[in-house]
Amino acid sequence: MPSVAVVGCGLTKFGKTDKGLIELLAEAGLKAIDDAGLDGIQFDDVLVANMASGEFNGLSGIANALVGELSLEPAAAIKIENTSGSGGAAVYVGWQAIASGKSEYVLVVGGEKMSTKSSGETAEIIASLTHLEERVHGITLPSLAALSARQYMQFYGAPREALAKVAVKNHDNALLNPLAQFHKKITIEDVLNSPIVCDPLRLYDYCPITDGAAAVVLTTLENAKRLTDNPVVISGIGFATDYYSIQTRKRLDEFPAVRRAAEKAYRMAGKKPSDIHVVEVHDMATILEILQCEDLGFFSKGEGWKAVLEDKTALDGELPVNTSGGLKAKGHPIGATGVAQVAEIFMQLQERCGERQVDAKCGLTCNIGGYGNGVVVTILEVMRPC
Amino acid sequence: MPSVAVVGCGLTKFGKTDKGLIELLAEAGLKAIDDAGLDGIQFDDVLVANMASGEFNGLSGIANALVGELSLEPAAAIKIENTSGSGGAAVYVGWQAIASGKSEYVLVVGGEKMSTKSSGETAEIIASLTHLEERVHGITLPSLAALSARQYMQFYGAPREALAKVAVKNHDNALLNPLAQFHKKITIEDVLNSPIVCDPLRLYDYCPITDGAAAVVLTTLENAKRLTDNPVVISGIGFATDYYSIQTRKRLDEFPAVRRAAEKAYRMAGKKPSDIHVVEVHDMATILEILQCEDLGFFSKGEGWKAVLEDKTALDGELPVNTSGGLKAKGHPIGATGVAQVAEIFMQLQERCGERQVDAKCGLTCNIGGYGNGVVVTILEVMRPC
């Protein structure tokens, strides 16, 4: 099985824009192709991660539209959907394409153009991923996160401030990311005084609505060695699902699918949590960053909140988490997120992150579809010249 | 690279139903698992081909929903979308998963529940795959097929009756397929007297609106040999795109993406058109069956219509085409179609087609996304015991 490498990435500015979905996808895709130095190369596959182009933009067949926009015919073109985990799923499919030996160059582009709809319509589109029998009772992703937060705080004695600190840290990181949606320093008091969304979580505990796109170019390690002096390989990748119905789960303060996906990725890479130097997790709400850091094995169960308060996950901490600003402050254009996470780790490993650069040779991403329904964990490693 | 085999299939009845989308997907999936004799097996991937669950059914994350319905956690769950070519794209991704060595058992389920919307709403959902700059002028898939028919008839002197004969043949075949939507014998006069949709094409030239699902189980050839005496392998598979914008294409009476996808599949399988014994093509409109048969290399350009009139593509002809009844008479639940095509060829090669059985050791499917935008061609072969 050929080793699979990342050789380029590109992102649009995240935030609200007048650009259309296909334009955003094309911008990120072109940047990634340029970044890889592969202009003019015939790609085998163009994979587009996106949740709801039909509902948000009245568009289907967007992978073919992107191929047309980038003149990449006759590349295979497929849209990959796993709700908010679409980006991770597309990287997973792209990895397979190279690993099967069938494909040599794969362009993975994720994007979402969400600002076309009112917040009520957007909430309805996003709620379409919940179980119908639970949706009728009014369950939404924000309300599930609040239930998780309540259970975690009560069970492990975590203070409300620890959750707020996640938002503060991620806003601090986003200040150093020119493409992030928010460039605004906030304090714990700002979070605690922001409007209640679902008690105990408040507006500043949640990621925003975002337009944007992100892309990575995948190829064989053999090609990567010709293209760059410090190739980055996907040394581990795991995908796992959990019960679709939330009422079937034992607890809401842990994500078994994160654990299972991570186990697969660690096993494949021959790594353990302490080998990881930088992490991008799926902080749709502040509590989720803490839960994932525990389920990924970085901190013991119930201890993750302490690591946040002790600045262990800060940019200069022992394990920097969400150096990009995370979903919270970089923004969360649904289909883009899993791809943007891989792009951030790729850039960190290649030492291209400017002011937010950390010291790392091995990084990990955790992208979640639904509410812990389907999870993709990737482990990336840089192979520096000796 | 491990050889990839099909070891089971399952289909729901095609037509209008009160069943929901997830129920249809689960029914087809369970049938395929039973058919493969793999009840209780842990699947690595569950791939769901579907175009528009959001627009038709208010559902996203349907791959995870299906995993939940079939208790297949923690299998990876991904929705694959390539408009009407979603099924072929999902088989392509499933093939890669096995070929990469990462996955041992993959369940591919395609389905669409379309009867939830009015025909006007449905037309709008389907038109979402056309280029925005062309859509504003009112272009639709049925109108494009009519332009192709007009160009083909004028250029090659094909009589209107030849197109009608495709519908007659496929209705004849569907009479022998218990799961087909239509069980109604029609005549050439019936087609020519049916209401005009887009001149020169009439109602009976087009496939209907359909609810339904189809599934196949993929695994390694090694596993297949243990499971069955006559394993069927996917010996060739090709995926190619054409210009997204229709005005960029040279002609409308040929599909370059069909040719390119077929070239890849033939090369991989080491086969030529004359080696193929049975075919399922994407007859969204009657003219499309003729064009594909030419672009796949079965008949010279401009000669395909003669083959139809001479009954060469009939059930007892030299190359039976659409033994299932095709999209025209079996029905076209969009996401299901590419999977249903592979299921039909699989059953033909395993001699399980009852009254519509033909003599075949090698078959081919051609599944089209958009209007020739993205095409997947697969070649399947049975390995009979000597």
pLDDT tens digits for range B159-203: 999 999 999 999 999 999 999 999 999 999 999 999 999 999 999
Lowest average pLDDT, out of A128-132, B18-22, B32-36, goes to A128-132
Do A184 and A94 have their domain in common?
no
At residue A365 the predicted structure's pLDDT band, cuts being 50, 70 and 90, is very high
User: A156 and chain B: CB distance < 8 Å anywhere?
Assistant: no
In a domain, B167, yes or no: yes
In a domain, A51, yes or no: yes
The closest CB to that of A77, out of B60, B76, B82, belongs to: B82
CATH code of residue A346:
3.40.47.10
pLDDT the model gives residue A1: 76
Do B77 and B147 have their domain in common?
no
Residues B75-114 pLDDT 10s: 999 999 999 999 999 999 999 999 999 999 999 999 999 9
The closest CB to that of B373, out of A61, A101, A245, belongs to: A61
Decide if pLDDT at A2 tops 90: no
A31-36, Cβ contacts within 8 angstroms, sequence gap of 24 or more: A31/A215, A32/A8, A32/A107, A32/A109, A32/A215, A32/A216, A32/A217, A33/A8, A33/A70, A33/A107, A33/A217, A34/A8, A34/A10, A35/A8, A35/A9, A35/A10, A35/A217, A36/A7, A36/A8, A36/A217, A36/A219, A36/A227
* B1/A374 Cβ within 8 A: no
Domain boundary among A195, A227, A259: A227
- Sequence-distant (≥ 6) Cβ neighbours of residue A126 within 8 angstroms: A140, A141, A334
In a domain, A309, yes or no: yes
Report the interhelical angle of B286-295 vs B256-269 (nearest 10°): 50
Domain boundary among A180, A195, A227: A227
Mean pLDDT of B300-306: 98
- For chain A positions 297-356, those within 8 Å of chain B (CB to CB) are none
Partner residues linked to B108 by β-bridges: B47, B216
The closest CB to that of A1, out of B77, B101, B260, belongs to: B101
pLDDT the model gives residue B385: 57
Do B100 and B162 have their domain in common?
no
In a domain, A328, yes or no: yes
DSSP for B160-193, please give it.
Answer: HHHHHHHHHHHHHHHTT-TT-S------HHHHHH
Decide if pLDDT at B120 tops 80: yes
User: A260 and chain B: CB distance < 8 Å anywhere?
Assistant: yes
Do A147 and A11 have their domain in common?
no
The percentage of residues in chain A with a pLDDT greater than 90, rounded to a whole number, is 96
In a domain, A385, yes or no: no
Do B188 and B319 have their domain in common?
yes
Element housing A64 (H / E): helix A62-69
Do A273 and A358 have their domain in common?
yes
Residue of A nearest to B132 (CA): A59
In a domain, B386, yes or no: no
At residue A45 the predicted structure's pLDDT band, cuts being 50, 70 and 90, is very high
Instruction: Give me chain B's average pLDDT, please.
Output: 96
pLDDT the model gives residue B6: 98
Domain that holds residue B61: 4-117+210-227
Q: Quick check: pTM over 0.90?
A: yes
Do B256 and B372 have their domain in common?
yes
Do B331 and B219 have their domain in common?
no
Domain boundary among A227, A258, A289: A227
Say how many domains are in chain A: 2
Do A310 and A199 have their domain in common?
yes
Residues A51-80 pLDDT 10s: 999 999 999 999 999 999 999 999 999 999
- For chain B positions 269-288, those within 8 Å of chain A (CB to CB) are none
From the list A287, A294, A321, A290, the residue with the least C-alpha distance to A147 is: A287
- For chain B positions 62-81, those within 8 Å of chain A (CB to CB) are 63-65, 67-69, 72-81
ipTM of the complex as predicted: 0.96
Mean pLDDT of A347-361: 98
Do B157 and B45 have their domain in common?
no
pLDDT the model gives residue A35: 98
Do A219 and A204 have their domain in common?
no
Residue of A nearest to B84 (CA): A61
Decide if pLDDT at B2 tops 90: no
The shortest C-alpha distance from A75 to chain B (Å) reads 6
Which of chain B's residues have a Cβ under 8 Å away from the Cβ of A369? 61, 64
pLDDT the model gives residue A385: 57
Mean pLDDT of B260-266: 98
Do B304 and B165 have their domain in common?
yes
- For chain A positions 20-49, those within 8 Å of chain B (CB to CB) are 45
The closest CB to that of A79, out of B65, B82, B373, belongs to: B82
Chains A–B, number of C-beta pairs less than 8 Å apart: 199
Residues A190-209 pLDDT 10s: 999 999 999 999 999 999 99
Decide if pLDDT at B386 tops 60: no
Residues B286-299 pLDDT 10s: 999 999 999 999 99
Which of chain A's residues have a Cβ under 8 Å away from the Cβ of B242? 73-74
